[in-house]
Structure 1
């Protein structure tokens, strides 16, 4: 092999490793932003209200229907 070929290969490997590291960092940041957005959306939801059914509803199950 020529020295030029070895140098090109080393440069390519280094560039690929750097590109992968940057890609992983961007992916992690995007996941953090999505998690933050989801948490904000959940915080914005109004609190759940209790069910105002009469006391006789929900006490029996009709198993012969």
Structure 2
């Protein structure tokens, strides 16, 4: 193998590693955003709604 072939292979390998590193960083950021959104949904779902008045639902009008 000649020197130019080795240099080209090294250059291609470096470009592949850089592209791989960028893809991994984007994936990690997407996972972080998804985790934040999930946490916000869980927090919103667990917030209690205002309670109904205590007299609501105690009687049924059966003569209507």
Give me the TM-score of the superposition, normalised by structure 1: 0.65
Partner of 1:44 in structure 2? Answer: 44
Matched positions, count: 49
- Shift in Å at residue 47 of structure 1? 3.8
Partner of 2:30 in structure 1? Answer: 30
Give me the TM-score of the superposition, normalised by structure 2: 0.66
Coordinate RMSD, CA, aligned: 1.7
Q: Any stretches of 5+ residues in structure 2 without a counterpart? A: 50-64
Runs of 4+ in 1 over 2 A off after TM superposition: 46-49
Q: Any stretches of 5+ residues in structure 1 without a counterpart? A: 50-65
